[in-house]
C-alpha cells in the first residue's frame, strides 16, 4: 500500500520548486497564464515578499505539490490512496484525476483570494490536549465564539474564531492542561462558520465546473472518508467552512491496514509536516472501528442509485472555469484529447496522475449484478396493490468509545477512554497491570491491601520510574484495627508522589486521608485552588458520599494542625475544597459490598453531588463513576446512560495475563458464570459483619468463612468450642493448631493489641479466625493446588458475564486476555450498543 500526502499552507518556503519549473515547462507556462504572474519568480525569488500572503501562498503550494508529484511518478509507483491537508487537498484532486491542473489552479487562486479578504479572525495551535480537553475548555462561555478548525493529531488541534477571543483563550487553555498555545500568523478564522460568506462565493465558482469520477480513493478533509461521486462538489465547497479532520482521516487509513511505512509526503521537498502529524496519530490512536466503516459502506450502497445506462466517467469531462481561457494549452489534457504520438516536449508524454490503460479496462471481469433490494423489486413488480412504504434509512448517531463519559474528565487525566481499572487486593493489580493500562491511555490503581510496606514502597518506586508523566494511582483500604497502617501508606504515597489514590471502605474521613489531600493543594496564578494529589472515593451510600463531597472535618483538621502535621495555610485551603475529586459508586461488587443496586444508587448520588457542588460553590466539578457488575458492553453502556463520567472495572481484570495471581486461580475464574459467586464475611471487618463477594464454584471458602463467623458470634473463647469443631478447624481449615496460628498472628500485632489478646479471649478468637481469611487469599494467589478448596478469590458476576460474552473467541482463554484489550472491547462494544439502541428507538418513534 502507498499513500501520498500533500501539505497545505504553512509548508511554503522561498526556493521551493527549484528544478521543477524547468522539468515541466508546459505546466509552468500554463500556471503563469492562469495566475497572471510568474510562478517561478514567486517561488524562487519572492521579490515582493508575497509568498507568505494567502492569495499567493495557496496557488504556489498547489503548483509545487502537483509538479513534485509528476516528478515523483517518473520513477516511483503511483499511490493507492491520496489526501492533502487543507489547500493540499486540491493537489490530491489533481492526482485523482477529478480535476485537471488548470482547473485546480483556478479554484485555488479563487479560494486564496476569498480567504485573504477575511479580516478580524485568528487561529491558534493547541498542543498537549486531546479533542475532549479542547472541547471542555471551549465550553467556557467566554470562548463561545471559538471552534476547532483543524484536528491535526490527537494532541495537536487548531482553534479558530475572532482575533480577540483567540488571544484571551491562551491562559484558559494553559490552565486546562495544554502544554503549548501558539497564535498563528493568519488574518481569518479559517475552516469555521465565519468563512460562510467566502464559502458562498466559492460555491458559485465551483458550481460552474464538472468533475471526473475519482480514479483512486481520495480521503476528504470534510468527512475523513473517500470522495463520493454524488457529493464531490459538496466536499469541495464545504472545505472552506468545515474543520480539517486529519486525525480521523489517518485513522480511516489505519483501518485499511496502513502503517507509517506506507506514507509518502510530496511537497516542497524539504518538509514532512503532514507525514509527522500522521505518524503521531498512528502512534497515539486506534484505527476506526471496522464495524462502523462496514455499516457506513452498507448504508452508502443502499442509498446510491444504480448508474444510468449512458453514464460513463469519460463522458463527463472537466469543464473550463472561464470561457475566455478555454484556449490556454492544458498541461493535463483530457484523456480523449491525447495525441497518439506526442513530441518529446509534449505534456502528454508526462505520465498522467493516475493513468488507466484501455487494456486493463478490457481485461477487467464483468461485475456481478448486485441482488435487487426490496425497494427495487417493488419498483419493477406490477402494482396490484398499494405499495409498501419504503423502509427508513438507519439513523446513525456515531457514538464512539472516545466520546463516552465526561470529556473534561478524560482531558484532565489524559485518558483515551473514560475507563479505570480498580486496585485489587495484595498487589493483584500489579505494576505490570498498571503500566499496561496507563500506556494504553487508561487510569489504573495498584493494589496495596495486605501487602508489607517494604513491598509497597518497592512497587511505588517502580511505578514512578515507568509512569512517564502519565496519571496512575494506588488504592488505600480503610484499616479499622490498625489505622497507623493507613498513615504509613500515605507517607509512602507522598514520598513517591502518587498522583491519585483510590480510597475504599472508609466510613468517615480519617487523618491519613486529610494529610494526603492537603499535601497537593496550592493556589494558581488566578487564585484558584489546584490539587496535585487526587482522591477517588469508593462509596456505596449517601452518608459516606456526603463526607467526601464536603471539606475535611474542621475538628480533625485542627487536631492535625495542633500536632504539627498540617500548616495553617494547608488548613485554610482544605476548608475550600471537597475531600474527593471523584466518587466511585460501587454497586454489588467483588470484595466488600453493600449489595447495592446501581439504578437506585447512582442517580441518587449524582443528585447529591449536584446539590453539594452548588451549595458549596466549588469552581471544579466532582466526577462520578460507576463500579461493580461491569464486565460487558451492555453494562458499560447502561452506566454511561445513567450519567456517569467514567466507569471502573475490577473482577474482569483479575483473569488476565497481567494480574498477579496464580494460574490455578485464573483457571477457576475463567470457567465461572454469573451465578458462581457467593457472599462471605469479610476478614478485614470480621466483627462488624461486613460481607465480601467471592467465588463459590469449585471451592469451600464461602461456607467455611460463614461457619467461622457463626462460631465467633455464639462463643466467647476458643476454649468453648467442642472437640469435634476444634479438630475440624485445625485439621481441615487451618492445617495447624490454634497455638501455631496465634503465634503467627501476634508477630504482626502492636504491643497494645498483643496485651489485649492475652487478656481478652473473644479478641483472641477473632484474631485466630481472621487469620484464615488472609491464609485463604495467599493460597489462591500462590496457587497451592493441594488447598484449592480453601481459595478466597474476590470476584463478582461481572467476570461471569464477560466469560459468557467471549465464549468461543480467543478471549475465552485467560492467557489471551490483556487488561487494555478488555478495556477496549468493553468501551467499543458500549458505543456499538448505544448506536443500536438509538437506532431502534428512533425508528420506533
Q: What is the pLDDT of residue 351?
A: 38
What pLDDT does residue 842 have? 60
Set of cell numbers at residue 746: 501476634
Sites in the chain below the pLDDT cut of 50:
308-397
| Those residues with Cβ within 8 angstroms of residue 136's Cβ, 6 or more apart along the chain or in another chain | 176, 407, 408, 411
How far is CA 78 from each of CA 21, 73, 181, 330, 355, rounded to the nearest angstrom?
A: 21, 6, 38, 22, 9
- 3-state class (DSSP) for residue 344: coil
Give the per-residue pLDDT at 398.
Answer: 53
Which residue in 11, 68, 85, 86 is the catalytic one? 86
User: For 158, phi and psi rounded to 5 degrees?
Assistant: -120, 130
Q: Does this chain's domain 3-115+193-293 share its CATH topology with 119-189?
A: no
CB 45 within 8 A of CB 99: no
State the Cα–Cα distance between residues 828 and 289, nearest whole angstrom.
Answer: 8
Which pLDDT score is estimated for 207? 86
Residue-level pLDDT at 570: 97
Fold of 119-189: Alpha-Beta Plaits (3.30.70)
Q: In this structure, what is the dihedral angle of CA atoms 375, 377, 378, 379, given to the nearest 10 degrees? A: 90
User: d(Cα 605, Cα 583) in Å, to the nearest integer?
Assistant: 9
Residue 653: CB partners within 8 Å, gap ≥ 6? Answer: 421, 422, 424, 429, 433, 659, 819, 822
Q: How far apart, in whole angstroms, are the C-alpha atoms of residue 647 and residue 160?
A: 33
In 264-417, where does DSSP find H-type helix? 273-284, 290-303, 358-363, 374-380, 407-412
What is the C-alpha to C-alpha distance for residues 426 and 775, in angstroms, rounded to an integer?
12
Cβ pair 445, 653 in contact under 8 A: no
Give the Cα separation of 58 and 54 in Å (integer): 6
Say how far apart CA 789 and CA 469 lie, in whole Å: 43
Strand (E) or helix (H) holding 265: strand 263-265
Q: What values do phi and psi take at 207, rounded to 5?
A: -65, -15
| Distance (Å, whole) CA 299 – CA 393 | 8
Grid cell locating 159: 482553534
Instruction: Give the long-range contacts of residues 522-529, CB within 8 A, separation 24 or more.
Output: 522/573, 523/573, 524/175, 526/171, 526/175, 528/619, 529/573, 529/576, 529/577, 529/619
pLDDT of residue 318: 37
The CB density around residue 613, as the number of other CB atoms within 10 Å, is 16
C-alpha distance from residue 449 to each of 206, 649, 717, 748 (Å): 67, 17, 28, 15
Q: Which of 85, 191, 354, 417 is catalytic?
A: 191
Helix axes 542-549, 598-616, angle to 10 degrees: 30
Residue 196 CB neighbours (<10 A):
11
Helix or strand run (H / E) with residue 796: none
How far is 98 from 146, CA to CA, in rounded Å?
33
Q: What is the pLDDT of residue 306?
A: 53
Fold of the CATH domain 402-661+814-830:
TIM Barrel (3.20.20)
| pTM assigned to the model | 0.56
Burial 526-556 (b: 16+ CB within 10 A, else e): eeebebebbbbbbbbeeebbebbbbbbbeeb
SS3 content of the chain, % helix, strand, coil (to 5): 50, 10, 40
Cβ count near 63 (within 10 Å): 31
Of the candidates 472, 403, 462, the residue with the CA atom closest to the CA atom of residue 441: 472
Tallying the residues shown for the chain, one arrives at 845
At residue 304, the pLDDT reads 61
Return the C-alpha cell found at 406.
465526561
DSSP state at residue 369: P
Q: What is the CA radius of gyration of the chain?
A: 34
The question of whether 310 is a catalytic residue gets the answer no
Q: Is 86 a catalytic residue?
A: yes
Pick among 3.40.50.720, 3.30.70.3280, 2.60.40.10, 3.40.366.10: CATH of 3-115+193-293 = 3.40.366.10
Give the model's pLDDT for residue 604. 96
Say if CB 464 and CB 456 are below 8 A apart.
no
β-bridge pairing 121-127 and 180-183? antiparallel
Domain residue extents for the chain: 3-115+193-293, 119-189, 402-661+814-830, 677-792
Do the Cβ atoms of 629 and 589 come closer than 8 Å?
yes
* Tens of pLDDT, residues 785-809: 999 999 999 998 999 999 999 999 9
pLDDT at 312: 39
Cα-based distances in Å from 805 to 626, 628, 637, 758, 799: 20, 17, 15, 52, 10
How many CB atoms lie under 10 A from the CB of residue 180? 13
Query: Do 551 and 591 form a contact (C-beta atoms < 8 A)?
Result: no
Sorted by sequence, the CB contacts under 8 Å of residue 346 that are 6+ apart come out as 26, 339
CA distances from 161 to 2, 10, 118 (A): 36, 19, 11
Amino acid at each position: 500500500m502507498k499513500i501520498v500526502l500533500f501539505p497545505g499552507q504553512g509548508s511554503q518556503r522561498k526556493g521551493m520548486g527549484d528544478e521543477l519549473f524547468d522539468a515541466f515547462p508546459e505546466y509552468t507556462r500554463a500556471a503563469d497564464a492562469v495566475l497572471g504572474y510568474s510562478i517561478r519568480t514567486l517561488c524562487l525569488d519572492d521579490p515582493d515578499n508575497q509568498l507568505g500572503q494567502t492569495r499567493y501562498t495557496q496557488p504556489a503550494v498547489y503548483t509545487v505539490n502537483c509538479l513534485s508529484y509528476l516528478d515523483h511518478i517518473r520513477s516511483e509507483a503511483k499511490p493507492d490512496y491520496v489526501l492533502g491537508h487543507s489547500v493540499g487537498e486540491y493537489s490530491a484532486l489533481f492526482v485523482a484525476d477529478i480535476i485537471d491542473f488548470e482547473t485546480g489552479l483556478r479554484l485555488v487562486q479563487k479560494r486564496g483570494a476569498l480567504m485573504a479578504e477575511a479580516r478580524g479572525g485568528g487561529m491558534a495551535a493547541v498542543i498537549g490536549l486531546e479533542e475532549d480537553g479542547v472541547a471542555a475548555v471551549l465550553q467556557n462561555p467566554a470562548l463561545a465564539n471559538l471552534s476547532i478548525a483543524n484536528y491535526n493529531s490527537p494532541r495537536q488541534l487548531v482553534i479558530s474564531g475572532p482575533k480577540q477571543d483567540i488571544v484571551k483563550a491562551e491562559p484558559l487553555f494553559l490552565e486546562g492542561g495544554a502544554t503549548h498555545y501558539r497564535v498563528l500568523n493568519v488574518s481569518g478564522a479559517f475552516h469555521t462558520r465565519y468563512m460562510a460568506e467566502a464559502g458562498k462565493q466559492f460555491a458559485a465558482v465551483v458550481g460552474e465546473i464538472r468533475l471526473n469520477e475519482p480514479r483512486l480513493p481520495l480521503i476528504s478533509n470534510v468527512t475523513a472518508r473517500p470522495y463520493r461521486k454524488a457529493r464531490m462538489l459538496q466536499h469541495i465547497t464545504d472545505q472552506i467552512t468545515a474543520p480539517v479532520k486529519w486525525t480521523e482521516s489517518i485513522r480511516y487509513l489505519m483501518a485499511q491496514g496502513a502503517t507509517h511505512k506506507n506514507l509518502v509526503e510530496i511537497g516542497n521537498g524539504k518538509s514532512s509536516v503532514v507525514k509527522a502529524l500522521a505518524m503521531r496519530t498512528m502512534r497515539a490512536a486506534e484505527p476506526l472501528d471496522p464495524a462502523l466503516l462496514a455499516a457506513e459502506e452498507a448504508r452508502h450502497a443502499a442509498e446510491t442509485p444504480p448508474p444510468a445506462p449512458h453514464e460513463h466517467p469519460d463522458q463527463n469531462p472537466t469543464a473550463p472555469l472561464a470561457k475566455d481561457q478555454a484556449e490556454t494549452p492544458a498541461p493535463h489534457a483530457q484523456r480523449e484529447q491525447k495525441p497518439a504520438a506526442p513530441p518529446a516536449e509534449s505534456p502528454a508524454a508526462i505520465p498522467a496522475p493516475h493513468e488507466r490503460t484501455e487494456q486493463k479496462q478490457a481485461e477487467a471481469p464483468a461485475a456481478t449484478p448486485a441482488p435487487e433490494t426490496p425497494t427495487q423489486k417493488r419498483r419493477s413488480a406490477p402494482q396490484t396493490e398499494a405499495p409498501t412504504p419504503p423502509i427508513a434509512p438507519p439513523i446513525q448517531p456515531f457514538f464512539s468509545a472516545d466520546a463516552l463519559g465526561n470529556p473534561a474528565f478524560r482531558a484532565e487525566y489524559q485518558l483515551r477512554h473514560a475507563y479505570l481499572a480498580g486496585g485489587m487486593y495484595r498487589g493483584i493489580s500489579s505494576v505490570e497491570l498498571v503500566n499496561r493500562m496507563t500506556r494504553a491511555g487508561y487510569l489504573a490503581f495498584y493494589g496495596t491491601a495486605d501487602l508489607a510496606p517494604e513491598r509497597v514502597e518497592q512497587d511505588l518506586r517502580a511505578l514512578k520510574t515507568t509512569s512517564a508523566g502519565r496519571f496512575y494511582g494506588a488504592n488505600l483500604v480503610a484499616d479499622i484495627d490498625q489505622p497507623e497502617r493507613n498513615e504509613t501508606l500515605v507517607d509512602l504515597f507522598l514520598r513517591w508522589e502518587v498522583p491519585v489514590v483510590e480510597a475504599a471502605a472508609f466510613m468517615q474521613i480519617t487523618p491519613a486521608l486529610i494529610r494526603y489531600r492537603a499535601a497537593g493543594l496550592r493556589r494558581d496564578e488566578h487564585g484558584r485552588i489546584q490539587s496535585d494529589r487526587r482522591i477517588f472515593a469508593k462509596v456505596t451510600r449517601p452518608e459516606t458520599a456526603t463526607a467526601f463531597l464536603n471539606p475535611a472535618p474542621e475538628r480533625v483538621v485542627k487536631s492535625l494542625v495542633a500536632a504539627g502535621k498540617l500548616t495553617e495555610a494547608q488548613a485554610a485551603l482544605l476548608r475550600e475544597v471537597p475531600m474527593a475529586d471523584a466518587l466511585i459508586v460501587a454497586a454489588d461488587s467483588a470484595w466488600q459490598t453493600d449489595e447495592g443496586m446501581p439504578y437506585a444508587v447512582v442517580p441518587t448520588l449524582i443528585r447529591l453531588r449536584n446539590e453539594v457542588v452548588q451549595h458549596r460553590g466549588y469552581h471544579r466539578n466532582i466526577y462520578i463513576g460507576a463500579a461493580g457488575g461491569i464486565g460487558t458492553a451492555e453494562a458499560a453502556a447502561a452506566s454511561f446512560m445513567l450519567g456517569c463520567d467514567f466507569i471502573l472495572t475490577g473482577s474482569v481484570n483479575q483473569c488476565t495475563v497481567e494480574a498477579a495471581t496464580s494460574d490455578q486461580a485464573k483457571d477457576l475464574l475463567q470457567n465461572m458464570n454469573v451465578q458462581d459467586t457467593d457472599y462471605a464475611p469479610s476478614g478485614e471487618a470480621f466483627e462488624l459483619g461486613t460481607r465480601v463477594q467471592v467465588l463459590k464454584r469449585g471451592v469451600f471458602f464461602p461456607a467455611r468463612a460463614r461457619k467461622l463467623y457463626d462460631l465467633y458470634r455464639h462463643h466467647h473463647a476458643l476454649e468453648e468450642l467442642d472437640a469435634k469443631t476444634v479438630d475440624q478447624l485445625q485439621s481441615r481449615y487451618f492445617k495447624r493448631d490454634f497455638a501455631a496460628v496465634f503465634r503467627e498472628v501476634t508477630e504482626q500485632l502492636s504491643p497494645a493489641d498483643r496485651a489485649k489478646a492475652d487478656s481478652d479471649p473473644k479478641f483472641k478468637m477473632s484474631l485466630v479466625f481472621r487469620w484464615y481469611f488472609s491464609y485463604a487469599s495467599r493460597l489462591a494467589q500462590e496457587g497451592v493446588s493441594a488447598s484449592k478448596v480453601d481459595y478466597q478469590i474476590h470476584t463478582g458476576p461481572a467476570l461471569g458475564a464477560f466469560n459468557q460474552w467471549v465464549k468461543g473467541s480467543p478471549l475465552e482463554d485467560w492467557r489471551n486476555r490483556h487488561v487494555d484489550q478488555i478495556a477496549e472491547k468493553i468501551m467499543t462494544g458500549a458505543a456499538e450498543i448505544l448506536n443500536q439502541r438509538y437506532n431502534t428507538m428512533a425508528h420506533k418513534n
